[in-house]
Amino acid sequence: MRAGMWRLSTICGRGFRHAIPDNVAFYEDGIENKALKTQIFSERGIGAIMHFAGSIIVTESVEKPLNYYRNNTVNSHGLVTTAIAAGIRHFIFSSTAVVCGNPTAIPIGETHPTAPINPYGRSKLMTEMMLADTAEAHDFNFCALRYFNVAGADPDLRTGQSTAGATHLIEVAVEAALGKRDYVAVYGTDYDAADGTGVRGEPSALVSENASILREQKWQPRYDDLETITRHALAWERKLSEMRTGR
């Protein structure tokens, strides 16, 4: 493993500078900039890529599908192409449980069939398929993380969700708790869910299973209960308010 793997370089379009420590190399531009990616990979001796950039709002993807195919699929293609040219062998991709569409089983395991029902899910699944094909043809391995309604924050409050107009449920709830929004919207009462309410509109339920990583990697999450996750999210939201007001 090359030492450069541990030297983080970040390409950021709509991110937040406060998320990157001052002692970490930082590059700001769009992920589609091939020349900059080539420069970073050459200068920093990158050994692995963690690709978490992307568009993630389901309803927006229905309204603007081409934007999602460009940002999530086409730009990922450019990143993978440049990575292969630079000899980078390891790739972690932030995908989504939405690639499974309306699940036939809950929780959703790694072998669950993929059948996305919106452009967001399809744009992510296309990238997963591209990575799988690339791994077959090159000395290259990847991991696709499938999850949904991400929540929580770093317990030490170094970073957390900072996006304006968040749609993730717990982020919306803590914003409402702190008076940053007037209410938490609940859509409908007749969805196929335990309490009849909508879970971000569609699908009605998505719960990812983590059995494989627990079994194969001997990994145990440190913060896996909802109360702790929510408490960290609330604490981060308070700190974010202080950062933005300069207090």
Name the residues annotated as catalytic: 120
- The amino acid at residue 183 is Y
What is d(CA 167, CA 224) in angstroms, rounded to the nearest whole number?
21
Under a CB-based contact definition with an 8 Å cutoff, are residues 233 and 152 in contact?
yes
Among left, alpha and beta (phi > 0; psi -120 to 50; other), residue 201 is: left
User: Exposed/middle/buried for 237, CB within 10 Å: 0-12, 13-18, 19+?
Assistant: buried
Whole-angstrom distance between the N-terminal and C-terminal Cα of the chain? 43
